[in-house]
């Protein structure tokens, strides 16, 4: 089946009734299961559940040489209302009631996902002096899509990394996550989007492609990877679905000409504080960074709050309208902040409310306004977390994607995220790009390789870690 025929079959997908969404109400004690924002490590997002997505057949955008099948998401809720008008209306409370029920179902999953969250945060956030940031939820969705195009031990390693028993459980998790994390109202923007970028030379398994479209709301773009048109379309799509907040990273996204399939998952998030900071109280204050001291705009608030405190850190959470909360963790004097990122129990104890070290206090809170952005290569990270077969063209199993090709492997796994906060609220975005490539054919032949001029070397460990690298310019 050619790709054109394959996507014609997607017309038969039926649109389910669009369900609305509503906020999960945290329990009175610091059960902080309001994981919806995960702003402590990145951001997240969303409105109503979108049953099966619809697709517009044919070329629906202006990119030359591309065939586009665009997933259709629910229309915004109360788009004709201002935030304040919506907040005061019956429409808001009706929507919130439905959304809360969905969020409660998703909250039941989150403790089971905490192991994946914690391990990913440990591997991405620990650093000497760089600002680091990630979106655990965004990567979870992207790797779930990767599991769909793999089989055998390759798939099992992905499921093990995501700490899911089987693919059906993973699919259920994804649908539940989407129901409670896709939101588009005047108060909250929490928008998820997925896409597939296909090489129009190859044919693909129609069942797999339909499932990615149906379960993951993945738009499809078919063309010539490596071409300027497809690279530009990829950048434009990613930039649009991250609100232009990651443009400095998006502009470097390019597909290799050997790409068979690229998966791109995005998240855009914008929420208001439940209790906004007073702009008139913002002052300039010194922030003592690891490199040097800087003068920052510091926001201030005095209120009664629940505080978590143990031997390593003090923490609190600020609620976000119709969403979750943003949690701040301040290490105690003499404690390295990396200790917090590498603590596998910190999220369970605070966000998921398993800790008992909570107390109610009057708090004079000072929070700096900031914008942080970070991009990281995930290939070494996922190898350390157990995904190895997908990286090896001799071991990988991508038969659910296509049975026409051997030697496919995961050649790109990149993740970028940003978060910005001010007196009004939180804004964040993230994307994950996974590219599957065919091992290039290299003709046999003779070459001369003579190290008789300056050269560079790299020495790696068995896991691919770079142990040593250097440039030899002179030999005495």
pLDDT at 147: 97
Using DSSP's 3-state secondary structure scheme, residue 325 falls into strand
pLDDT at 46: 23
Q: 89-98, 128-137, 418-427, 461-470 — which is least confidently predicted?
A: 461-470
**pLDDT tens digits along 53-69:** 433 333 444 455 687 78
CA distances from residue 198 to 13, 138, 247, 256, 469 in whole angstroms, order as listed: 20, 21, 23, 12, 36
pLDDT at 448: 55
Q: What's CA 236's distance to the chain center, in Å?
A: 18
Q: 12 and 114 share a domain?
A: yes
Q: 232 and 138 share a domain?
A: yes
Q: Domain for residue 102, yes or no?
A: yes
> Token pair for residue 277?
């900071």
Check residue 288 and give left, alpha or beta (phi > 0: left; psi -120 to 50: alpha).
beta
Res. 281: pLDDT tops 50: yes
The range of the structural domain enclosing residue 23 comes to 3-272+371-438
- pLDDT average, residue stretch 377-406: 94
CA distances from residue 113 to 11, 105, 120, 190, 245 in whole angstroms, order as listed: 34, 14, 11, 20, 27
- pLDDT average, residue stretch 113-141: 88
Q: What number of other Cβ atoms are within 10 A of residue 463's Cβ?
A: 9
pLDDT at 456: 45
Q: 314 and 196 share a domain?
A: no
Confidence of residue 245 (pLDDT cuts 50, 70, 90): very high
pTM score of the predicted model: 0.81
pLDDT at 10: 36
Cβ atoms of residues 73 and 53 within 8 Å: yes
Q: 155 and 261 share a domain?
A: yes
- As a dihedral over the C-alpha atoms of residue 427, residue 103, residue 241, residue 120, rounded to 10 degrees, the angle is 80
> Token pair for residue 34?
């309001």
Total domains in the fold of the chain: 2
The CATH number of the domain holding residue 332 is 2.30.39.10
Q: First and final CA of the chain: distance in angstroms? A: 63
The dihedrals phi and psi of 364, each to the nearest 5 degrees, come to: -95, 100
Q: 362 and 376 share a domain?
A: no
- The mean pLDDT of the chain is 79
Which of 43-57, 59-73, 154-168, 416-430 holds the top average pLDDT? 154-168
Q: 122 and 249 share a domain?
A: yes
pLDDT at 334: 86
């Amino acid at each position: 089946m050619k790709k054109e025929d394959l996507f014609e079959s997607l017309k038969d997908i039926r649109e389910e009734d669009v369900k609305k969404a509503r906020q999960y109400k945290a329990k009175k004690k610091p059960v902080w299961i309001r994981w919806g924002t995960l702003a402590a490590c990145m951001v997240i997002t969303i409105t109503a559940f979108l049953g099966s997505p619809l697709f517009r057949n044919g070329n629906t955008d202006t990119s030359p040489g591309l065939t586009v099948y665009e997933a259709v998401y629910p229309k915004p809720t109360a788009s004709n209302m201002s935030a304040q008008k919506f907040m005061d209306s019956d429409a808001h409370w009706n929507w919130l009631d439905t959304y809360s029920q969905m969020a409660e179902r998703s909250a039941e999953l989150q403790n089971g996902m905490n192991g994946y969250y914690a391990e990913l945060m440990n591997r991405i956030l620990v650093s000497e002096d760089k600002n680091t940031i990630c979106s655990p939820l965004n990567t979870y969705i992207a790797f779930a899509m990767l599991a769909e195009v793999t089989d055998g031990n390759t798939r099992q390693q992905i499921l093990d990394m995501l700490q899911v028993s089987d693919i059906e459980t993973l699919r259920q998790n994804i649908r539940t996550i989407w129901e409670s994390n896709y939101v588009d109202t005047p108060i909250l923007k929490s928008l998820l989007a997925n896409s597939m970028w296909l090489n129009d030379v190859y044919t693909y398994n129609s069942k797999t492609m339909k499932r990615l479209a149906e379960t993951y709301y993945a738009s499809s773009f078919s063309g010539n990877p490596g071409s300027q048109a497809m690279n530009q379309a990829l950048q434009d799509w990613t930039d649009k679905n991250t609100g232009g907040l990651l443009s400095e990273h998006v502009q470097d996204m390019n597909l290799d000409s050997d790409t068979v399939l690229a998966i791109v998952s995005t998240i855009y998030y914008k929420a208001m504080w439940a209790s906004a900071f007073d702009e008139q109280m913002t002052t300039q204050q010194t922030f003592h960074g690891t490199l040097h001291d800087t003068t920052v705009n510091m926001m201030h608030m005095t209120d009664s709050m629940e505080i978590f405190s143990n031997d390593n850190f003090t923490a609190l959470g600020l609620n976000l309208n119709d969403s979750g909360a943003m949690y701040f963790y301040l290490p105690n004097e003499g404690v390295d902040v990396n200790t917090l990122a590498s603590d596998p129990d910190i999220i369970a104890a605070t966000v998921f409310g398993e800790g008992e070290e909570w107390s109610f206090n009057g708090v004079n809170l000072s929070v700096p306004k900031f914008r942080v952005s970070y991009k990281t290569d995930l290939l070494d990270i996922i190898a350390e977390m157990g995904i190895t077969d997908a990286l090896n063209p001799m071991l990988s199993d991508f038969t659910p994607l296509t049975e026409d090709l051997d030697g496919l492997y995961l050649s790109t796994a990149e993740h970028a995220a940003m978060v910005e906060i001010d007196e009004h609220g939180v804004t964040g975005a993230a994307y994950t790009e996974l590219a599957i490539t065919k091992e290039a054919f290299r003709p046999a032949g003779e070459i001369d390789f003579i190290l008789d001029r300056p050269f560079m070397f790299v020495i790696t460990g068995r896991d691919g870690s770079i142990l040593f690298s250097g440039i030899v310019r002179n030999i005495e």
